């Protein structure tokens, strides 16, 4: 059963437009109106009362705190009327503010008396209060037991509000949504960490490969340097050998046969340049 909560002052937080909009938005034939109000504007309260009474719906009204003054009239719009534990109902004479001369005030008083007459008709029609005018004039408060005794309430059914279940469901849904959102955040963070780790691993592998490449390059450079040195040494040796050969060739080209006489025999022909200096000149013993 849809529930309409009327909390606050009639004519301010509680308005006829709000009630009409609620009824227009609900297709249910049964409506619960929960009231906690100290009253308010007479004309607004009467419009709400008549809107509920003429809605064609089965109306259950519930006092959850107090239904005083104009709110007491709204409460009586219910086909089933329930007062929750410890709640109060109050009726009193209507009051107003006026400005002007004595005639204006007398007219205002007449209007207030007529308003009270209208209230009395509603109380007589909807309750079992014996002397309505007297109790209105005195300003009377009723307990739950007195409401039952005076016919203000006509049901003792224990009621639970659907909105409580809806709130609990909403809380559960919110908690579930928050939990799912938290899980999604954790999953996203995990994926991000995986990406970071993969990137770091890739960078580490890249650095390792670069180090190995650098090491290989250094080794190759050292080997190339050694080969170059060996080649240079070989070329130097070859050049030295070539120079020696050339020098020997020059020496060979300069050889001249010469007979050296001695006292007893003639020496074999030899190369002049191969003899000691003192023997290179022609001499006899």
Distances (CA, A) of 280 to 251, 263, 276, 277: 16, 17, 6, 5
Residues 6+ apart with CB under 8 A from 11: 40, 41, 43, 44, 45
What ranges in 99-161 are assigned the alpha helix state H?
102-126, 132-138, 144-149
Candidate list 37, 64, 69, 72, residue with the active-site label: 69
Candidate list 55, 92, 134, 283, residue with the active-site label: 92
Q: How far apart are CA 41 and CA 38, in angstroms?
A: 11
Q: Is 92 a catalytic residue?
A: yes
**Interstrand relation of 30-37 and 58-68 (parallel, antiparallel or unpaired):** parallel
Q: How far apart are CA 207 and CA 162, in angstroms?
A: 66
Q: Token digits for 236?
A: 């130097």
Find out whether 82 and 61 touch, Cβ atoms under 8 Å: yes
Buried b (16+ CB within 10 A) or exposed e, 252-273: eeeeeeeebeeeeeeeeeeeee
Find out whether 40 and 71 touch, Cβ atoms under 8 Å: yes
Active-site residues, by number, are 69, 92
């Amino acid at each position: 059963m849809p529930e309409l909560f009327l909390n606050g002052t009639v004519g301010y937080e509680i308005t006829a437009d709000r009630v009409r909009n609620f009824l227009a938005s609900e297709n249910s034939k049964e409506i619960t109106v929960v009231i906690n109000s100290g009253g308010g504007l007479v004309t607004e309260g009467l419009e709400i009362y008549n809107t509920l009474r003429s809605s064609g719906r089965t109306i259950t009204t519930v006092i959850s705190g107090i239904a005083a003054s104009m709110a007491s009239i709204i409460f009586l719009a219910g086909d089933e009327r329930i007062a929750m534990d410890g709640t109060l109902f109050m009726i009193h004479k209507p009051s107003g503010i006026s400005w002007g001369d004595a005639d204006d005030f007398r007219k205002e008083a007449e209007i207030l008396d007529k308003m009270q007459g209208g209230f009395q008709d509603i109380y007589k029609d909807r309750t079992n209060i014996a002397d309505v005018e007297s109790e209105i004039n005195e300003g009377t408060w009723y307990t739950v037991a007195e409401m039952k005794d005076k016919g203000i309430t006509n049901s003792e059914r224990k009621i639970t509000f659907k909105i409580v279940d809806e709130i609990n469901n909403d809380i559960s849904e919110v908690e579930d949504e928050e939990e799912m959102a938290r899980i999604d955040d954790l999953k996203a963070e995990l994926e991000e960490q995986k990406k970071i780790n993969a990137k770091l691993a890739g960078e580490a592998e890249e650095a390792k490969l670069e180090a190995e490449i650098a090491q290989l390059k250094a080794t190759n450079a050292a080997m190339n340097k050694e080969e170059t040195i060996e080649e240079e040494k070989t070329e130097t040796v070859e050049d030295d050998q070539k120079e020696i050969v050339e020098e020997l060739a020059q020496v060979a080209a300069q050889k001249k046969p010469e007979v050296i006489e001695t006292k007893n025999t003639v020496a074999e022909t030899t190369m002049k340049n191969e003899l000691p200096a003192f023997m290179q000149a022609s001499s006899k013993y």
